Each structure stands twice: as C-alpha cells, then as structure tokens.
Amino acid sequence: MLPSREDCLALLEKHGLPEHIVRHSLAVEKVAVFLAKKLQEAGEQIDIDLVSRAAILHDIDKMKSLEIGSGHGTISKRILEEEGFPQLGLIAFKHNLPIVLEPSPFQAWEEKIVYYADKRVNHDRIVSLDERFKYLLERYGREEKIIEKISSCKPKVEELEREIFNKLGIDSSLSELK
C-alpha cells in the first residue's frame, strides 16, 4: 500500500526537508504525473499513484546525505524501506544521475519517469535537459572526473527522453506545464 500525498509531505517534514526541496519534489511530481498519464493514455501500463509518491519522496534523504557528504539515493532507499515503502525506496534509489550508465538501469516505466522528471526540474523550475546539465556542471563540476561523469550521462538521459517522447508522439518541451 502507498502513502497518501499528505503522508508523503508529512514524511518530508519528519526528515527535515526545507521548503525549497519540498518545492523541487512537487515540481518533479508535476512532470512525472503528467508524463505517466500521457503514457497511460498511449497504452502503457503505469501506476500513476506510485509515480506521484516516488516523485514526492525521491529526495527524502537530501539533508542526511548532504550532512555526511555521500549516500544520496541509498539513504532514501533505507529510509523508505524503514517507513514500510520498499517499492518507493527502489525508485528513489534509482533517481541518481549516474544510474543511467548502468546496464539496464530501469525495469519499469515508473523508475524511468521519476528519474527523467528529476532531470527536467532545476530547483522548482521545469527546464530543458541542456539547462539542467549546464547547472549540474556548474554546481558539481569541480574536478575533471566529475565533469566527465556528468557529461557521460547526458547522452543516455537524452536517449531516455527520446524513448519517452517518441512513445507519446509529442515534443519534449513540456510547454503545457510551464
């Protein structure tokens, strides 16, 4: 069973997420639910409530992982498992940028959609992949190794974007949401 949206927001508060991260999570949810509904209309099997709740909770560990300097996603998975929501934990774990470099990183549309939606939201604004990756490079690209990793992810995320939007038969601007 999934938590309600209200329960998800209460979990974010319980785990000390500041308002700006809550706003980011809600913007990710907006994009993810939009895409999930469109995919469902296109005939795909997708659990919209699962997408919604996973999008809201994908950064539940943000403060803890920033505090210790690592573990983002892994800590979310653990938190959500402890809260009784292992399926949400798995999707939260799979939202980290480098997961796209793994062989077959996603087994379900719900994982793909939450991952992708997070890459289309910078803070609480819906942006293009180009803008999001530019921000990621400016924010985190202090070492050549990190620059290379972020840069190597971009073609894979663009491939995911093409997969999603080719299935939908619409352009990727998300202009309806802006």
- CA distances for 114 relative to 119, 143, 156, angstroms: 9, 28, 15
Cα–Cα nearest to 31, from 163, 167, 161, 169 = 161
How much is the mean pLDDT over the chain?
A: 95
Note down the domain range covering 27: 5-177
d(CA 76, CA 58): 7
Under DSSP, the state recorded for 128 is: -
Q: What is the pLDDT of residues 39-79, one digit of tens each?
A: 999 999 999 999 999 999 999 998 888 778 777 889 999 99
Cα–Cα nearest to 91, from 65, 68, 109 = 109
Strand partners, 121: 126
Q: In angstroms, how far is CA 8 from the centroid of its own chain?
A: 15
d(CA 22, CA 43): 31
* pLDDT interval class at 178 (50, 70, 90): confident
Both tokens of 90, joined, read: 């798995």
The helix or strand, by DSSP H or E, that contains position 121, with its residue range, turns out to be strand 121-122
What is the domain-level CATH number for residue 166?
Answer: 1.10.3210
d(CA 17, CA 111): 22
The pTM score is: 0.96
Q: Evaluate whether 110 touches 39 at the Cβ level (below 8 Å).
A: no
Give the pLDDT mean for 16-35: 97
Number of structural domains found in the chain: 1
